[in-house]
Chain A
């Protein structure tokens, strides 16, 4: 039988303070994703191997890990995409590890709240008055940024976040920009100071790794750039017209 070797970096805090490596041999099929291999191990070889997963169709965002050094959704990465029959799986970099491949993502959850990811309006309209209209062009302006599945691959790939966890980071900035660009939202002036003043977009040196690893085609680097431009325009306007325009 054809086999593959899965080499996992493990960490079990109740067993000891140091991470260790463990290798497992799994049956190999051409249509197997990395998650299938992990599930095979968990069900048949070692019930203690620990990782998150659910939808196994690339949309719930649970199953991220570093596969042969690159942040990936394990449900969307086939074994055959990696060279050789030994594949190394590590927890996503840049996060504290809870156990094995499970990382602590509370930092992102707090950042998500800080950017106020909801529609802000001066006045709510009751649903009885119908939907807010939006043109295809208006939708297009923010649509891709609304596709973020919060999988954390971009934070893992981001060298700035690796050095400074106060950096707002790619996904949270993309989501802030998603609301800033939504024609239904009027919260721009509330959100701008947040993205700009809290170790936000200005820390980013536009390395662009975030956009490369995103499994959903979101371009957080573009969001960061655009936020910088909008921010600069806003700053100038506030100097020239401190009380705003009429």
Chain B
């Protein structure tokens, strides 16, 4: 062990929308490139699969790039980089149509063109959809399309444990083949991180079990800053027990949010948009209603109602079949007859690995795209249906940029220090972590982290709770040093993988309260009860968390403003 190595031109970590799109873009640029997709799950299990409502792109005459850009920038509370947003909206239609050409079963208008629906914060209908399962269809379409390229090789169920950085550039990764438990080095001239978000840091989240911020931690440990990590999106409509997402499309199609008095309470918070307001404002509105005693009490916390009963069975059947299926299966409700109980919960991480418009992280050879990255086009609040398009636009761009870089590079050597780095990684995992015989279960530490983050880094924040959270995460990191993995097997050791994931999550989690406590203002999803106003004079800038002697050090970088001057964000 420790000596086996593989060699590719580009190594892509993550097999969801951004990763696969990057692979195809690279291979289309240069078919001779040898590309590896390394994913801890079979790619079609990636969390892209759970996206429901749609993907935004300007395809119709009534719409314009400027409108999509402005909506996105206003949605971001002016923290998005406007050059990135302009690039994004212009590339979006081509990516959407390319996906359609690859076979995505979009829903259709009577004229045979792709259907679009209304979505939160978007002024016109520009959210393209495939019933309410766009993520599933998009992922399977991309994955199946990728199978026609023989030069895209896959490492399915391989878990990447570290980036190999030598002499100021990335040479590849170390990864565990989960089925055998072997640690192997996968060398690449360029590496693209596309591992998605980190929702599992929180207790109540829409995110799947696999969303553990791996790629954020990989980059952060390699010296790349994590940008705007305080910007955590809470989605307003999750099923109270499970955190299962009820899509925003339910409101796009006309659904109402009601308090226990049967009142459309959003008139007090976002009268100009009501249910089509942006997610940060709606989630806060729900919490305010609940705090004012106008929510319903349930065994899994207080909630409000999402009422679709007036839409009629046909609309629900044809446009929201997955909502119907989920409501029926998980809460025993037919949404045509009864309102669905919902409450806000963690959904998306606006922050992430710092990149430029081309997905470049600043560390030679390292690129990132998708939710793991922060370009930033989402700023302080992402608009619903922009994230899948972001995966395609910036996945493709990162793929092309990495390909151009790789074409000019020589293959890295598997000599020292790379081999030494791989050997010490092997020691860390198999001789240290796996050998602990006594200590605390990793699962206990994980649960305590999720509870702590939920409690102190939630929708409403203040200095005291955030400082408490900084302390708590530090303590959890100490506890993990004495964590035990009961399963000592090499073959398919999911408990070992979970321990390594928790180790990643704690590093990522720590950057959130550190960034949040330093941002003494309220902007987008980051709401401080002790600083309730946006403060452009001090904080119209990105936070940048650097790993410094084991702790985050917060610095800042400017926001790019092109054509839209920051203004008060009123809906």
A99 CB → nearest B CB, Å: 4
- Contacts A/B (CB < 8 Å), 18 sampled: A47-B441, A48-B489, A59-B50, A60-B44, A60-B50, A98-B492, A109-B156, A119-B102, A124-B101, A127-B93, A131-B100, A131-B101, A131-B114, A132-B101, A133-B112, A150-B42, A184-B101, A185-B103
Point out the residues of chain B lying under 8 angstroms from A131, CB to CB: 59, 97, 100-101, 106, 113-114
Q: Size of chain B's interface in residues, with CB distance under 8 A?
A: 64
Chain A residue with the shortest CB-CB distance to B325:
A58
> Are B148's CB and A118's CB within 8 A?
yes
Chain B residue with the shortest CB-CB distance to A175:
B144
> Are B50's CB and A139's CB within 8 A?
no
Chain A residue with the shortest CB-CB distance to B211:
A54
Within 8 A of A (CB), among B498-547: none
A143 interfacial by beta-carbon distance below 8 Å? yes
Point out the residues of chain B lying under 8 angstroms from A142, CB to CB: 105
A102 interfacial by beta-carbon distance below 8 Å? yes
Within 8 A of A (CB), among B297-334: 322, 325-326, 329-330
B419 interfacial by beta-carbon distance below 8 Å? no
A32 to B330 alpha-carbon distance, docked (Å): 10
Residues of chain A touching chain B, judged by Cβ–Cβ distance below 8 Å, are 12-15, 31, 42-44, 46-48, 50-62, 76, 98-100, 102, 105, 109, 112-113, 116-119, 124-125, 127-128, 130-136, 139, 142-143, 146-147, 149-150, 175, 179, 182, 184-185
A181 CB → nearest B CB, Å: 11
Point out the residues of chain A lying under 8 angstroms from B101, CB to CB: 119, 124-125, 127, 131-132, 184
> Are B147's CB and A118's CB within 8 A?
yes
A124 to B97 alpha-carbon distance, docked (Å): 12
Instruction: Given A60-B49, A60-B208, A136-B110, decide whether A13 and B491 contact each other with a Cβ distance below 8 A.
Output: yes
Indicate which residue in A99, A112, A118, A127 contacts B103 across the interface (CB closer than 8 Å). A118
Chain B residue with the shortest CB-CB distance to A78:
B329
Point out the residues of chain B lying under 8 angstroms from A128, CB to CB: 94
0/1 per residue, B13-45, Cβ < 8 Å to A?
A: 000000000000000000000000000011011
B111 interfacial by beta-carbon distance below 8 Å? yes
A150 CB → nearest B CB, Å: 6
Point out the residues of chain B lying under 8 angstroms from A149, CB to CB: 44, 49, 136
Q: Which of B241, B322, B494 has the most CB of A within 10 A?
A: B494
Instruction: Given A54-B210, A119-B101, decide whether A112 and B144 contact each other with a Cβ distance below 8 A.
Output: yes
A44 to B101 alpha-carbon distance, docked (Å): 48
Point out the residues of chain A lying under 8 angstroms from B182, CB to CB: none
A76 to B330 alpha-carbon distance, docked (Å): 8
> Are A62's CB and B45's CB within 8 A?
yes
B1 CB → nearest A CB, Å: 15
A227 to B106 alpha-carbon distance, docked (Å): 24
A133 to B449 alpha-carbon distance, docked (Å): 49
B392 CB → nearest A CB, Å: 11
Point out the residues of chain A lying under 8 angstroms from B442, CB to CB: 47
Point out the residues of chain A lying under 8 angstroms from B330, CB to CB: 57
Indicate which residue in A50, A56, A118, A139 contacts B492 across the interface (CB closer than 8 Å). A50
> Are A118's CB and B144's CB within 8 A?
yes
B179 interfacial by beta-carbon distance below 8 Å? yes
Chain B residue with the shortest CB-CB distance to A119:
B103
Point out the residues of chain B lying under 8 angstroms from A15, CB to CB: 489
B209 interfacial by beta-carbon distance below 8 Å? yes
Chain B residue with the shortest CB-CB distance to A143:
B105
> Are B105's CB and A139's CB within 8 A?
yes
